[in-house]
Amino acid sequence: MQDKNLKFKTQNSKLLKVLFIGDVVGKSGRRGVKEILPALRKERGIDLVIANIENIAHGKGISEPTVREMMGAGVDAFTSGNHVWAKKEGIFLLDNPEFPILRPANYPPGVPGRGMLEMSVKKQPVVIINLIGRVFMKDDFDDPFRAFDSLLKTAPKNAIIIVDFHAEATSEKRAFGFYAGDRAHLICGTHTHVGTADTVIVNGRAGYVTDAGMTGAEDSILGVAKDGIIAQFLTQLHARHTMVDAGAVIFNSVLAEITVGKCVKIERCDMILNKERG
């Protein structure tokens, strides 16, 4: 009986709880992370927190103060996407080893930053990979599917593999999920800012969601004030994007339980922070 109990404890010690937070948008998104994450992490026993932060600094790009703010709130690693280049001061952070920030790995050679991050969590090797899709995207990127294959060749053996697939088309995200699902442990889509309800374990191994969603102002259109966006659709004229910094905040994320062999559970972990702030 004692041997069985010891074995059970050993198995539990190898289980990692990973929280992936959808695109954090501006001041409202940062407030949501700061006020929700510390208690959530403690209550759910979360071992690793990853957040997409390409929109963290006033809606586009990153900055050192905003990244440090999220690190202070308990985020361990950061992924991004095509908007990470929006602020010049933030680009320099991508090459600074002090900041665990990724940009999509399938940008052409010579681009600042890295697309893969190796770390250790509970003595377990973890590899985080950031990729960007090509369907409906304005820029030309290398093939994310083959980029994933190449990156895996350099990953440590027995590492837990987590992927942020930053893409517009749901079909491309689903295709990648099935393509990589027998080799990755967690695949989270980002970019559209709308959380999807399709959390599932694909290929019997990888936790998957088409889009983790957004952490930002609830009364907005993807974090931006509604009036200007609606006017843009009505007139076809470009309108200035004004960020919503006050009011209720939605916190979109997924929580996965992962072992070395596979993801055993994945679920949405969404909340609303109903506090008015200036």
Tell me which residues are annotated as active site.
83
| DSSP H helices in the chain | 2-13, 26-44, 64-73, 88-91, 144-152, 170-180, 226-235
**Do the Cβ atoms of 228 and 192 come closer than 8 Å?**
no
Rounded to whole angstroms, how far apart are CA atoms 103 and 114?
6
What element of type H or E holds 162?
strand 160-166
- Closest of 233, 167, 160 to residue 196, by C-alpha: 167
Tell me the CA distances in angstroms from 61 to 26, 82, 126, 209, 216, one per residue in order: 9, 9, 26, 24, 15
Element (H, E) at 272: strand 271-273
Cβ neighbours, 10 Å, residue 211: 25
Element (H, E) at 157: none
Report the run of H or E that residue 24 belongs to, with start and end: strand 23-24
Pair of tokens at residue 131: 């990729």
Q: How far is 260 from 53, CA to CA, in rounded Å?
A: 27
Determine how many CB atoms are found less than 10 A away from the CB of residue 96.
12
